[in-house]
Structure 1
Amino acid sequence: MTPGVAEQVRPVDTARTELLTVGVEEEFLLTDPATGAAVPAVHAVLERVPPELAGQVQLEFQTSQVEIGSPPGLELAALRHSLALLRSGVADAAEQAGARLVAVGTGPVPGPVPPVVDKPRYHQMVERLGLLVPSPGSNGMHVHVGVGEPDLAVEVLNHLRPWLPILHAATANSPFYEGADTDYASWRSMLWERWPSVAPTPYLESYAHYQRLIDELIATGIMLDDGMLYWYSRLSATYPTVEIRIGDVCPSLDDTILIAALCRALVATVVQEIETGRPAPQVEHHRLVGAHWRAAHDGLEGRAVDPETGDLRPAWHVLRDLFERVRPQLDRHGDLGLVTYLLGKLHSHGTGAARQRAIFDRSGQLSDVLDELARETRG
């Protein structure tokens, strides 16, 4: 019998100890500056994006959304510079098109549901999913970390599973929906989880097992293709990367860079553990589902499921545990000082969800929340 990936012990491969690249994709909502409602303005916005940025800006599922993607690299400073140019360039294009670019998980105020982008694949998705689809737009953040070998990348997915909920909590940025406080820090997560292929990544025996599960999901009609594999971490269908895709889009670049750095350091940490023969914890699926629900509900301002014990603890304590776990790789990648600073800033100011609620508590106006989100989006 062929051993599962968790049972395979190999000597350390020094070729794999190189620094890992990181890249980020971010999705944004296009809103009416006067009402705050989502607007179907993406084509008008794309027409106005500067030519030098056009290759890194693209359509998303709905006409009220736009996506940017940074090139992969080693330096967080370069990542930040790239995302800053993209955010400001697309924000300018949105203003020229009579809209506003907002980094928020989903639409805070009521309004008509914008149509999906006119692509055959998207129309097929609407046909297949029916009433699961309508919403102002579901805007997430995807972090790509360079792991080129498929078998190793699948092992990485197994090791990541218990730690993704606390990263989920750290990105919470959608407490308001249809004009009301949802009592969740990330309402986008709850809307998104209605889709049948959205779930915690299962424990995988091998790359062949990973491929077999994709084939089964397509054969049963749950997915049209492998691009609809919406597990919280996966192998990118396009790049030689592990793709972590659990969070709302972050309101500010500081938040984005912090999450990207923690994701890279976590991947680098588990790669090292794999190479020394440490098996991945086989966490029960129901516990992961509960941990992600708790993350969406509480954000960092409540409690989180401890990745090792399953106990509920203050979410900030769990995030601090993650920081300590990956500290050596943060240091090795040259990110420790910046991440320490950004983590302190996040602790002081709160998640995007907490910041939105603080603004609303002061003024009682969602328009003020959207004004601040637009300011943070631009940077």
Structure 2
Amino acid sequence: MGTATEGTAISPELAARAERDDLHTLGVEEEYLLVDAVEPRAAELVEEVFAELPADLRDVVQHEYYRSQIEVASPPQLDLGELGTALRQLRSGVAAAAERAGARLLAVGTGPAAGPNARLVDKERYHRMREHFGDLSPGPGMCGTHVHVSIPDPETGVQVLNHLRPWLPVLQAATANSPMFGGRDTGYASWRSMMWERWPTVGPTPYLRSHEHYLTLVSDLEASGAMLDEGMLYWYARLSASYPTVEIRMGDVMPTADDAVLLAALTRGLVATLVREVRAGTPAPDVAHPLLMAAHWRAAHDGLEGLNIDMATRQPRPAWRLLRQLFDYVRPELERHGDLERVSDLMGRLREDGTGAARQRALLARGASVGDLVDWLARATRSEDKHTLILDPERREDESAPS
């Protein structure tokens, strides 16, 4: 939301390999919620957590808008296994620092428990945002996932943004991980998405004629007062202002590192596929903006367990089938990047276990309290287990097993 680092700089060796083999690097940013060590309420302890961070994490951990939030940025990677290792290390390291500071780290889109609104991090930019935009995001904070995928040049990147538009609703559905807010089920799989839409520049990326058109829109939006700077361009996909990447940013933060790895891999496969279509001169689909808005609303409401809109037919279809369609579409690039086996495995687990929202609701349906839910989210966030954590509040933390 704020001025968090958009990934970290790529090493010359990795960049050379990517260029030589025509591969795409990827990186992930994740925002987390801090909650009290005992109570399920949000905890304004971000400065205390920073004080407990080991030296090797301080360059890749950032403040977010509220004092009950914190953000990490993985280094760019080519290998999906190395990305997963980096994310697990980041989650584990920040979670350990949070525990030393009297907090727990949650990978969740919104605060599940009731409590007072959080205060801003004491940065001049955040105070300017509050003064200019008012209280558009009440609560302890909204936590999302941003995936960066490298592109050859900005002009190609803009055309990739055009091609991405019909695919992003189903990817958003797969990330749904915020059904609870303020101690109650909101009826949405991603309540964060609905709260996030209050900001004036949030929404589907418009159809762009060129990179020059993109820059003109950014300038016009700043002049209008709808955003203070380019960092507040909150389209669901945009060009990075700092690195040669497209950034896909419509999803909730997901409960486990493996969930994030799956999203990143599908996103890279999609971007790589679309780069080839741009090079071949294939025109981007002309998708009506109102239909995109409807599809993103459906993603927020249903998650992956309900329906979404098939952009080819403009008719509702099971969201899971649309995600499977995306998988089949990007399969050649998954294979070319060495991701196919891993992604096939993670897709199977997602099909079996459901989204983060579905997992939370399954836990509550078994009689868990909001406190139990927060306990489970804390375990899921830092778990080294590559399979699903058990959804049973009566079982202890060290008794993980497939559900």
Q: Please indicate the TM-score interval, normalised by the length of the shorter structure.
A: over 0.9
Of 205, 211, 219 in structure 1, the residue corresponding to residue 209 of structure 2 is 205
2:62 aligns with 58
Which residue of the partner structure matches residue 152 of structure 1? 156
Quote the residue 1:8 is aligned against: none
- Partner in structure 2 of residue 358 of structure 1: 362
Counterparts of 1:131 and 1:125 in 2: how far apart (Å)? Answer: 9
Alignment of 1:367-378 (within 5 A): 367-378=371-382
Deviation at 1:34, TM superposition (A): 2.1
Q: For residue 13 of structure 2, what is the aligned residue in structure 1?
A: none
1:15 is displaced (CA, Å) by: 6.6
Q: What corresponds to 1:75 in structure 2?
A: 79
Contact 1:147 1:241 in 2 (8 A): yes
Shift of 1:133: 2.9
Residue in structure 2 matched with residue 329 of structure 1 by the alignment:
333
CA offset digits 1:108-162 (Å, max 9, x no partner): 1111111111111100110111121322101000000011411000000000000
**What aligned pairs does 1:250-329 form with structure 2 within 5 A after superposition?**
250-329=254-333
The root-mean-square deviation of aligned C-alpha atoms, in Å, is 1.2
1:83-109 superposed Cα distances (whole Å, 9 cap, x missing partner): 111100000000000000000001011
Show the counterpart of 2:401: none
What is the one-letter code of the residue matched to 2:78? L
2:149 aligned counterpart, secondary structure: strand
Q: Does 1:25 align with 2:15?
A: no
Paired residue for 2:124?
120
Return the alpha-carbon distance in structure 1 between the equivalents of residues 44 and 207 of structure 2.
Answer: 39
Q: Relative to structure 1, is the Cα distance of residues 160 and 16 closer, same or farther in structure 2, using a 3 angstrom cutoff?
A: farther
TM-score, scaled to structure 1: 0.95
Q: Which amino acid letter does the alignment assign opposite residue 311 of structure 1? A: Q
Consecutive unaligned residues of structure 2, counting only runs of 5 or more, are 1-17, 384-403
What are the ranges of 5 or more consecutive residues in structure 1 without an aligned counterpart? 1-13
Counterpart of 1:179 in structure 2 is 183
Q: What is the DSSP-based 3-state SS (H/G/I as helix, E as strand, rest coil) of the residue aligned with 2:66? A: coil
Counterpart in the other structure of 1:7: none
Call closer, same or farther: CA 1:21–1:59 in 2, change over 3 Å: same
- Give the fraction of aligned pairs with identical amino acids, expressed as a percent: 58
Greater RCO, 1 or 2 (C-alpha within 8 Å, sep 6+): 1
2:42 aligned residue (32, 38, 61)? 38
Distance 2:26 2:248 in 1: 11
| Counterpart residue identity of residue 328, structure 1 | P
Aligned to 1:329, the other structure's residue is in SS state helix
**CA deviation after TM superposition for structure 1 residue 317, in Å:** 0.5
Q: Is the 8 A contact 1:41 1:97 kept in 2?
A: yes
- Give the letter for the 1:35 counterpart: E
Matched ranges for 1:131-150 at <5 A: 131-150=135-154
The 1-side partners of 2:151 and 2:332 are apart by 19
- 3-state SS of 2:165 partner: helix
Amino acid at match of 1:240: P
The alignment status of 1:105 with 2:123, answered yes or no, reads: no
SS of the residue 2:250 aligns to? strand
Distance 1:205 1:155 in 2: 8
* Structure 2 length-normalised TM: 0.89
Q: 1:256 corresponds to which letter in structure 2?
A: A
> Post-superposition shift, 1:307?
2.5
Deviations 1:169-199 (A, max 9, x none): 0000000011110000000000000110101
Q: 1:133, 1:104 → 2: CA distance?
A: 15
Aligned-residue offset at 1:268: 0.2
For 1:372 and 1:237, the matched residues in 2 are separated by 36
Moved over 6 A (4+): 14-17
Give the Cα–Cα distance (whole angstroms) in 2 for the partners of residues 133 and 177 of structure 1: 12
Question: Residue 309 of structure 1: SS of its match in structure 2?
Answer: coil
Aligned to 2:98: 94
Amino acid at match of 1:213: L
SS at match of 1:133: coil
Q: CA deviation at 1:367?
A: 1.0
**What are the Cα deviations for residues 283-331 of structure 1, in whole angstroms up to 9, with x where unaligned?**
0110110000000000011001113221100111000000000000000
The separation in 1 between residues aligned to 2:366 and 2:230, in whole angstroms, is 45
Alignment of 1:189-268 (within 5 A): 189-268=193-272
Q: Secondary structure at the match of 1:30?
A: strand
Hey, what's the Cα distance between the residues in 1 that align with 2:181 and 2:276? 42
Letter aligned with residue 197 of structure 2? E
1:328-350 C-alpha deviation (Å, 9 max, x unpaired): 00000000000000000000000
Q: Is the 8 A contact 1:126 1:133 kept in 2?
A: no
How many residues in Structure 1 have an aligned counterpart in Structure 2? Answer: 366
